[in-house]
Amino acid sequence: MRRFVMGVAIAMAALFTFALPADVAARNYSIVPEPAYMDIQPEGDYVVTAKTRIVVNDEAWNPAERFAEDMMSYFGMKKPMHTSKRGKGIKVRIDQFVPAEGYEMTISAEGIIIIGGSEAGIYYGLQTLRQIIITNDGKVPYGFIADEPTFAYRGAHLDVSRHFFSVEDVKNYIDIIAAHKLNRLHWHLTDDQGWRIEIKAYPELTEKGSMRKETLVGHGLNPVEWDGTPYGGYYTQEEIREVVKYAAERYIEVIPEIEMPGHSQAALHALPWLGCNEQIVDVWTTWGVTPEVLCAGKETTYEFLENVLDEVIELFPSELIHIGGDECPKDRWVECEHCQAMIKALGLESEEELQGYLVARIEKYLNSKGRRMIGWDEILDGGVTPTATVMSWRGINGGIYAAERGNDVVMTPMSLCYLNFYQTESREGEGLQIGGHIPFEKIYAWDVYEGMSDAARPHIIGVQLNMWSEYLKSMDMVEVMLLPRLGAMCEVQWSHDRRDDSTIRAKMELMRKFYEANGWQCAPYYFNFRK
C-alpha cells in the first residue's frame, strides 16, 4: 500500500511544479535535491530544538545517531532513544513498503515522522530534515514529503594523486557529498604523479612511488618552471579501512581506482620492470599524458596487477573496482618486443586490441573474485564485455553507444561534470584552475537522457561529478569548487523534476546558510554574480 502512495505522490509531483516556487518563497523552505513530492501547508511549523527527542527502533538507530551527531555542532541535539511512549518529537522507522532509498516525512503539531525503506532511506530523510532545520532556524513547516532518487548511482570523484588529501580531508569530502544524498565516492588513488595506497606485496609503490621531486608551477607555459619542493603522501591500509568505514556509516560506497595500463608512471618509478624498456623514470612532476605505460606484453605485468587487485579487493567491499583504462599512448608498445610478440601470439590486429585484451583479462579476474569492473570510456576501444560498467567522460556519445550495446553506464562528461573547471566566464577571484567553464546553470539544465533511445535509458545507472586536483592544493579549495555547484549536480542525480532557475537560485541562497553552519566554504562569486 505504501509503495502505491509513493508512486501516486511521484506521479502528482508534476502538478505542483509551478506552485512550489511561491510556496518555497513564502515558507522559507529549502531542500536540495528537490524531493519527488511535497505538500507544504500554508501555515504551521513544528519547532525543533536541542530538547527535541529522536525516537527510533533498532533498525533505524544508526542513521538517527549520525543525524544527532551532525546536529550536535548546530545546537547540541541529544542522541536518539528507544521508546514506545507517546509524545512529540522526531520518530523514525523502517517500512519495507517504502522504496529502499526512499522516505516519507509527515510534519504536524504532533511531531515529525520519517519512514524509510532502509537505513539509507532513513538517512536521506534525516538529511532533508537537517537542511530544513538549519536553513529555517529550527522551524519545519507542516506538510508531507515523499521522495526517492532517480539514479541508483550518484557519485563524486576525488583525485588524491596529483595533490594528496589527508584522511580528515577525505572524511570532510564524504560529509559534504553525503549531505547532498550522493552514495558513491570514486577514489582516484594512483596516477603518474603519485601512488597513494599501501600495497604490502610491493612496499616500493609507496616508499618510492608516493613522492615526486617537485611540482609544475602554473600551466607550464613559457618559461616552464617547477617549485623545487618534494611532494607526496599515501594512505596506510588501516587508514583506507577507516575511510571506507566512515563512508559506509553515511551510506556511501567507496570505489577505488587503480589506473592501468596508462597513467602509471609512479608505479614504473617504483618498479621499473613493469615498463616495456625497464628504464628508471621519475614520478611525473607535470600534468597531462605521459608516454610511460605498463607493458602489456609481459606476464609479470598481469601478475603484478592481480596481486595489487587482491589487496584492493580485501580493503574495499564495493562491487565495482575501477581500473582506469584512459589515455594510454601506445608508443612504447609499438617499439616493445614483448608487446609485439603478444599481439602476434593472440592474433590481434593492433595495439588498441592489445589494450582490449588487457582490459578483458583484468575484468575476467575481477569477476572471478566476485567483483565487477568499471572503467573510463576508453575501455570500449578494442572491445569490452557487456558485464563491464562504462564511465563516459569524453562526452555523451560513448555512454550512449555503451548503453545501447547493453553495458551499464555512469554519465560523467567533461563538459558538464568536471568541477575543477572555472565557475564563471570572467574567472575573476577563482584562482588558477586547469581551464574550462562549467557554470551552475549549465549543470542544472542538463537532461541526462537527451539523445538516447528507449533501449539505452535503462542502462544509464547514474551520474558522477569529477574533482581533479592539478590545481587544488587544499580541501578549502576543493570546497569552493564543489559548492554551490554540487547543489545543481545532486538535483540532476536525484530529482525527478527540477524546477526553474528562479527556484534553484532562491534555494541556494538558503543553502549558503546550511554550508556556513557546517563550516564549508562555497564560491562567493556565484552568489555575488546572482545579485
Active site (catalytic) residues: 191, 263, 327
C-alpha span between 342 and 338 (Å, rounded): 6
The DSSP output letter for 326 is -
Cis peptide preceding 223, ω within 30 of 0: yes
* Owner of C-alpha cell 617547477: 226
Angle at the Cα of 335 from the Cα atoms of 334 and 336, rounded to 5 degrees: 95
Three-state DSSP class for residue 108 = strand
For β-strands 184-188 and 211-212, DSSP reports them as unpaired
422-425 CB contacts, 8 Å cutoff, 24+ apart: 423/481, 423/485, 423/523, 423/525, 423/526, 424/525, 424/526, 424/529
Residues 6+ apart with CB under 8 A from 462: 151, 152, 153, 154, 155, 184, 410, 411, 493
Decide if 205 contacts 195 (C-beta within 8 A): yes
- Partners of 61 in beta bridges: none
Tally Cβ neighbours within 10 Å of residue 258: 24
3-state helix, strand, coil in the chain (%, to 5): 40, 20, 40
Burial of 519 from C-beta contacts in 10 A (0-12 / 13-18 / 19+): exposed
Burial of 505 from C-beta contacts in 10 A (0-12 / 13-18 / 19+): middle
Three-state DSSP class for residue 230 = coil
C-alpha span between 93 and 115 (Å, rounded): 5
To the nearest 10°, the Cα dihedral for 219, 224, 227, 231? 70
Identify the CA nearest to 198 among candidates 253, 160, 161, 236: 236
Angle at the Cα of 70 from the Cα atoms of 65 and 72, rounded to 5 degrees: 95
- Sign of the alpha-carbon torsion through 521, 522, 523, 527: negative
C-alpha span between 67 and 83 (Å, rounded): 18
Decide if 295 contacts 338 (C-beta within 8 A): yes
